[in-house]
Amino acid sequence: MNSTALKLQPTLRIVQGGPSDRAITVVVDDFVDYLRVERNASEHTVSAYHRDLRDLVEFLGDQDVDQVGMGDLRAWLKRLHQVGHCASTIGRKLATIRSFFVFAQREGLVEENHARALRAPKRGQRLPHLVATHDIDRLLDAPGHDRLGLRDRALLEVMYSAGLRVSELVGLNIADVDLDTGTVKVIGKGDRERLAPIGKQAIHALTMWLDGRTVGAVYTNYKGGRLSTRGVQKMLDKYTAQVGLEATPHSLRHSFATHLLDNGADIRSVQEMLGHQSIASTQIYTHVSTTRQRAVYTQHHPRA
C-alpha cells in the first residue's frame, strides 16, 4: 500500500468479543429498521440508504459509532472524490450519513453529529434532456397490440401524459385510477399525495390494458406481480432502441414539463402537476423553455 493510500485510511478501532450495541453495523441495522417501520420508507429508499451506509462501514471498519470522528468522515469524503464519484452522488451519500448520525444522536449513541459540519460539493446545473414531440409520438406508437404491447403502451402514455416519476408510476394501484375524470392519485416524494390529470390517449390505453380489472397493481410483470422500476427501464430501453431515440423515464418527465410551458401553461400549474414542493425545482423548465425560444428566434428573426 502506498503512502497516499495509508493517509486516506481512518484509524480502525477493533471491538473485542464481537460487536457492541454501539458498533456501526448494529446501529446501521437499527437505523434501517427505523426507516422501514417508523418512517414507512419505501423499499427503494431503504435500499439506497443501506447501500450508502455499507460503503461507509467498509471504509471505516466496524468501530463503535461514538468513535467516528470528524477526521474519519473527512477522509471518507476525500476518498469519494478520489475514486471519481460525481457531485450529486457525493451529496446524496452525505445526506444519508447526516440522517444516520441524527438517528444515532437521538438514540443517545453519539454526543455530537460530526456529519453536520461536512459540506456537499457544489453541483453544476445541467439542463434536462428533452425528447421532441414528434419523437414522443414515435415512441408511444412503438408497442404492439398483443397483451404485452397493451401494457407497455398504457405505461408510456401515462408516464408522459402525467409526467410521473418512475417510482410513482409503478406504485399505481387500479383503485388510484379514475378513468371517468381522467386522473390518477399519486403518492410522491415525502408521501405527499396529489391528483395528476391524464389525457384522452392515456385514458384509452389504460382502458384497453386494464380490461375490466378492478383491483391490484396497474402495471404487472409476466408473473402477475407489480412491475419494478428496473422493469420499466428495460422496457423503455427496448422501445427507444427500436425507434432510434435516447430517452430515460426522467427525460420523459422533463419533456412533459417543458412541452407544457412551451404551449403556454403557467409555472404554478406545472409545479403542482410535477409534485414539486418548491417552485425553485420547477424553474429550470422555464429556463429550458426560454432557451428553446431563443434558438427559434435566432434562427428565424431577420435582425436576430
**What are the catalytic residues?**
165, 189, 250, 253, 276, 285
- The answer to whether 123 touches 88, Cβ cutoff 8 Å, is yes
Cβ neighbourhood burial of 199 (10 Å; 0-12, 13-18, 19+): middle
Nearest 5°: the CA angle 120, 30, 188 is 60
Side chain identity at residue 255, one-letter code: S
60 three-state secondary structure: helix
Supply the DSSP symbol for 23: B
Task: Find the radius of gyration of the CA atoms of the chain.
Answer: 23
- Helical packing angle, 43-60 and 24-37, nearest 10°: 170
- Cα–Cα distances in angstroms (integers) from residue 166 to residues 67, 120, 136, 175, 188, in the given order: 40, 26, 17, 18, 10
